[in-house]
Amino acid sequence: MHGLLSVSGLKKVYEGSGRRVEAVRDLTFTVDAGELVCLVGPSGCGKTTLLKCMAGLLTPTSGEVLLEGRPVSGPPPGMAVVFQEYGRSLFPWMRVGENVELPLKQKQLSRQRRRALVADALESVGLGDAAGAYPWQLSGGMQQRVAIARALAYEPDVLLMDEPFAAVDAQTRADLEDLVRGLWRDRGITILFVTHDIDEAVYLGERVLILSASPTVVQEQLKVDLPSERDQLHTRVDPRFAELRTRVYEQIQAAKRGVVPGA
């Protein structure tokens, strides 16, 4: 039984100039269709390596990634990635609308369909009137919204987000978290959200995957049984929220000390 996205026995070893670094040792997990899963782990635990392997940007040393049962060997058409570095991921030589539209041109969609998708995606991230601006004319938070809109317009089965809010200020970050929750609820897309922020993982996720320190394995999986309606004010003071974040925090501390669960 496979989920929509399944990772099995994934291992990635970087070799070069006499050094051999085992970034990811043995990762196995699945993400079901329509789920919002957060991946947390101590810094340097190979989150980005894992994400790049899933996105088909890196070839794993062993193990495999399956998207809808098909092995991922290059960037799959049903997947979109939102990178942390929005300023570098958006093309400064294109206007916002063109940035969002470019991947759609590669999909050979009709002009009319592209226009509709771009307008809808920008509207849903609250930037309906920014299509004519250049990305560098926008604030950081708005730029990341554009990157999210670009991913939405692509109509992916799975949306991978690599620490997308690590570089924005706290207030913007709260807004963007609610935006992602809202998009997930309204559009029913599957989201895998990588973060190093424990609160963010618990607040956003329906499930949290905790990774160990490098060489990385899955330390624990935690179901987030908070109500699906969440808001910054109430959810974060919910006693259950505090319990969950404590649990995740403990696991990450254990991971840093190298304690393997059940051992």
Using CB under 8 A as the criterion, what x/- string covers residues 18-57 for binding other proteins? ----------------------------------x--xxx
Confirm or reject binding of residue 113 to other proteins (CB under 8 A). Answer: no
Token reading at 235: 């959810």
Confirm or reject binding of residue 106 to other proteins (CB under 8 A). Answer: yes
Of positions 3, 5, 49, 83, contacts other proteins by CB under 8 A = 83
Confirm or reject binding of residue 159 to other proteins (CB under 8 A). Answer: no
Q: Are 213 and 204 in contact, with CB atoms under 8 Å apart?
A: no
Of 1 and 136, CB closest to other proteins: 136
Of 114 and 245, CB closest to other proteins: 114
Of positions 70, 107, 113, 223, contacts other proteins by CB under 8 A = 107
Q: How many residues bind other proteins (CB under 8 A)?
A: 29
Of positions 8, 25, 32, 102, contacts other proteins by CB under 8 A = 102
Confirm or reject binding of residue 255 to other proteins (CB under 8 A). Answer: no
Confirm or reject binding of residue 81 to other proteins (CB under 8 A). Answer: yes
Give the residue from 175, 251, 150 showing the smallest Cα distance to 209.
Answer: 251
Of 175 and 199, CB closest to other proteins: 175
Stretch of 91-99, 113-121, 207-215, 248-256 lying at the interface with other proteins (CB under 8 A): 91-99
Binding residues for other proteins (CB under 8 A): 52, 55-57, 75, 77, 79-81, 83, 85, 88-89, 91-94, 102-103, 106-107, 134, 136-140, 150, 154
